[in-house]
Copies of this chain bind each other. A is one copy, B any other.
Amino acid sequence: MFPARLNNPEKKYQDQHLFFDFHNLSAYVDLREVLLTRKEHALLGLLLDNAGEIVRREILLEKIWGYGRGIRTRTLDVHIRRLRKKLFPYGDTYIETIFGAGYRFQRYREPRGYPNYVPELVAV
């Protein structure tokens, strides 16, 4: 009836290690809170909206920065780098580089040999 984006203040992404709120700058990696800047939040949000799919550089630059083709900048790469850092230690597995195309967010997939691993809750 409405596009989910416009009518869903509860929109969230969640998997094994990451929690992302599309309407708040705060996210969680495991149980650690991570505050994102606005650009970081927009970028991760767009990748998450297309989780599993390649999002081309041009698309990212256009939708988040309003840049048209032919603009030469490294700002996207720098933001990707900061995001990966904040998603430590999962940054590189979550955000894949597709050389010559763009980036792709991949939902967390359990490494082999650790089937069904779930973090234990332990007092510290």
Contact A37 B99 (CB under 8 A): yes
Contact of A119 with B by CB under 8 A: yes
Contact residues of A: prevailing secondary structure: loop
Bound form: Cα–Cα A98–B119 in Å: 29
Please indicate the chain B residues that have their CB under 8 angstroms from the CB of A54 in the complex: 24-26
Contact of A122 with B by CB under 8 A: yes
Interface residues of A in 18-65 (CB under 8 A from B): 24-26, 30-31, 35, 37-38, 53-54
When all copies of this chain in the complex are counted, the total is: 2
Which residue in chain B gives the minimum CB-CB distance to A21?
A: B54
Known contacts A37-B99, A38-B100: A122-B31 contact under CB 8 Å:
yes
Chain A residues within 8 Å of B, Cβ to Cβ: 24-26, 30-31, 35, 37-38, 53-54, 98-101, 112, 119-124
Inter-chain pairs besides A25-B100, A120-B123, 10 sampled, C-beta below 8 Å: A24-B53, A25-B101, A26-B54, A31-B121, A31-B123, A35-B99, A37-B99, A38-B101, A122-B122, A122-B123
Bound form: Cα–Cα A35–B96 in Å: 12
Contact B24 A100 (CB under 8 A): no
